[in-house]
Amino acid sequence: MKNKKIEQLINASPLPAKDIEWSAPEFEKQPKDPAWFLAGGFLAIILLIIAVFTKNFLFVVVIILASFSLFIWAQKQPKKIRFKITDKGIIIDKILYNYENLNSFWIFYEPPKVKHISVESKKFLMPKIIIPLAAQNPDKIRNLLLKHMPEKEHHESAIDVLGKYLRY
């Protein structure tokens, strides 16, 4: 029953003037040259040598699995995701995030590279939701979100900064 309501919200036509809908890639694909993969492989080999030398075979398994996962993920192509901001909440690819479960938002807007919304969730396992803005007007989105939750400055996590630095 819940999915039908979400489907109706997503596919409602025509859009009310207050709703905003757009599509964007799920993440920004960073270009990776062969040197990037060689550096990752070299690091994995160094860690494997250390793990074998210290006879830490569980660490060997972790390094192999992590290296394989990172290699696969680095080649993944982003899929297009639909985003919709409504009076009920934020819909991301058929999942409705009700405003009552969200604390605050902040818009990072430094074109051409940085254009996304950071939404802080009340849920422990999903503290932040990052929504790419694509070509959307950030002022229009800000005005709509201000009706439903406070704007509070968010900071990029250390993982996000490290990911950008490593082009991941």
pLDDT in tens, 20-63: 889 888 877 778 889 889 999 999 999 999 999 999 999 999 99
Per-residue pLDDT at 47: 95
Buried b (16+ CB within 10 A) or exposed e, 108-122: beeeeeebbbbbbee
Per-residue pLDDT at 14: 47
Output 6 or 49, whichever has higher pLDDT. Answer: 49
**Lowest pLDDT segment from 12-16, 128-132, 133-137, 160-164:** 12-16
- Between CA 68 and CA 90 the distance in angstroms is 34
Residue 10 has pLDDT above 80, yes or no: no
Q: Which residue from 62, 40, 65 is spatially nearest to 51, judged by alpha carbons?
A: 62
Residue 131 has pLDDT above 60, yes or no: yes
Q: Read off the pTM.
A: 0.68
Mean pLDDT of 89-95: 89
